[in-house]
Amino acid sequence: MEYTNLLVEEQDGIFVLTINRERALNALNKQTMSELEHFFRGDAARGNEVKGVIIKGAGDKAFVAGADIKEFLAIDAAAGADMARKGQEVFFLIEQFDKPVIAAINGFALGGGCELAMACHMRLATPAAKFGQPEVNLGLIPGYGGTQRLIQYIGKTKAVELLMTGGMLSADEALQLGLVNYVVPAEELMDKANALIGKVARKGPVAISKVIEAVNAYFDNTKEGFDAEVSYFEDVCGTEDFKIGANAFINKEKPRFTGK
């Protein structure tokens, strides 16, 4: 697929995915959502050669400032439901991706942008970053998972306040509440993201994928989290990587995992 709204770069197994609609503050339109889906279903799914993905926004004003409201004007109730289901499906792809996905947030992460960031496994922010779900200002509610993930990250009390008032969190507030992992200077943002993915890449690939599955199981009402953990633990105990890692630990060596 030839991308129109995404810039895709890859170096040493780390993909940098840039939402490239700077004039629109990188707002998520249908085309952008389609390209995100294609990327995570296809280009990023190459097995062990992929170490992780960093998602960022073009320019220095916004990560993603929301969905493209112009597209909302033409929808009715049924079309709105379809849009929300599709958005959730795309963001589930990101959340369930078997390698680390990091949001590098360099400005506004509002509405769909906040929802995109929350679908990533980790979030880094610059001091200028702002977070919020301001949909109520338009007579709407979040539709791409915002009402659910915001509660998971910052708790019901603060989440309800933000969802009902349309207020915003500063980067420092987001850090204090647990919405972001780190706040770093803008010039260090990508270095920190690459360093985190590099650190994860030195661990057992199968184990990392099972960590992602186990954590997601906690929030999946179709699964019992502790039972899922037992199942995934069973899976990793039967891998070559476990034998490699255990032997390396005993022999005080660095493990060379194979992803098998």
Alpha-helical (H) ranges within the chain are 30-38, 69-72, 77-95, 112-119, 146-154, 156-165, 171-177, 189-201, 205-218, 225-237, 240-250
DSSP conformational letter for 191: H
Report which residue type is found at 154.
I
Amino acid at 157: T
The verdict on whether 213 is a catalytic residue reads no
Q: How far apart are CA 79 and CA 223, in angstroms?
A: 30
Return the DSSP state at 13. T
Report the distance separating Cα 34 and Cα 79, nearest Å.
Answer: 16
Q: What does each C-alpha distance from 246 to 100, 147, 209, 232, 253 come to in angstroms?
A: 23, 41, 18, 17, 10
Catalytic residue, candidates 95, 115, 234, 240: 115
Residue of 35, 37, 95, 135 marked catalytic:
135
Q: Are 149 and 119 in contact (CB under 8 A)?
A: yes
Contact assessment for residue 121 and residue 102, using Cβ atoms and an 8 Å cutoff: yes
C-beta neighbour count of 49 within 10 angstroms: 9
Q: Is 115 a catalytic residue?
A: yes
CB burial string 132-141: b at 16+ within 10 A, e below: bbbbeeeeee
* β-bridge mates for residue 14, sequence order: 11, 52
List residues with catalytic annotation: 115, 135
